[in-house]
């Protein structure tokens, strides 16, 4: 992203200025989402997913580090039968979303979806513009991919199944 699009470079600079990857390195932070793969729209955020074994300690650390930033919120909830802590805040014009759960990053949905989407974009150059157009019309990323690819049903599960059928991912996450 350091040498990417203007938005990717700005995102890289914001991440570096915040030192979020360094501050949270013990949780193996990985930037996911639309900005790294170049299908972002104006309001795309910076999603950083992490493997967190102690959610209470993570929640406290994130609050101490970023609790004073604009629009800071933090929630502990259950998503897909996994306890998660999700923090959001604004920094240098970007909304950051920090997402921690007790699961290796490469097995988390955000990472798996991004890797599938990245492979699909490499294989089909027309897909990028079509997905971005659908996103501008209000579609979320996974539903936009599924709409264009003709995947029916739950778009989050459907995209994972599609990626598995095309051997982009293995049952335990993305193939190496």
**For 40-52, what is each residue's pLDDT tens digit?**
999 999 999 999 9
pLDDT score recorded for residue 174: 53
Cβ atoms of 74 and 62 closer than 8 Å:
yes
User: Residue 36 carries which DSSP code?
Assistant: T
pLDDT, one tens digit per residue, over 31-75 is: 999 999 999 999 999 999 999 999 999 999 999 999 999 999 999
Domain annotation for the chain: domains and CATH numbers:
6-103 (3.30.460.10), 109-174 (no CATH)
Kindly report the CA angle at 126 between 121 and 131, in degrees rounded to 5?
A: 70
Please tell me the distance from the alpha carbon of residue 135 to that of residue 121, in angstroms, as a whole number: 15
Please tell me the distance from the alpha carbon of residue 142 to that of residue 135, in angstroms, as a whole number: 10
């Amino acid at each position: 992203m350091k040498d990417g699009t203007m938005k990717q470079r700005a995102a890289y600079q914001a991440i570096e200025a915040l030192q979020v990857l360094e501050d949270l390195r013990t949780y193996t932070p990985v930037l996911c989402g639309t900005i790294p793969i170049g299908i972002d729209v104006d309001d795309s955020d910076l999603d950083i997913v992490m493997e967190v074994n102690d959610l209470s300690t993570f929640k406290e650390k994130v609050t101490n580090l970023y609790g004073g930033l604009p629009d800071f919120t933090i929630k502990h909830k259950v998503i897909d039968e996994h306890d998660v802590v999700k923090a959001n805040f604004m920094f240098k014009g970007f909304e950051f979303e920090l997402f921690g759960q007790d699961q290796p990053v490469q097995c988390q949905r955000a990472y798996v979806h991004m890797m599938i989407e990245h492979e699909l974009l490499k294989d089909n150059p027309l897909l990028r513009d079509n997905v971005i157009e659908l996103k501008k019309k209000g579609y979320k990323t996974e539903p936009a991919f599924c709409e264009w690819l003709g995947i029916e049903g739950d778009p989050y599960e459907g995209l994972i199944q599609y990626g598995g059928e095309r051997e982009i991912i293995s049952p335990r996450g993305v193939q190496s």
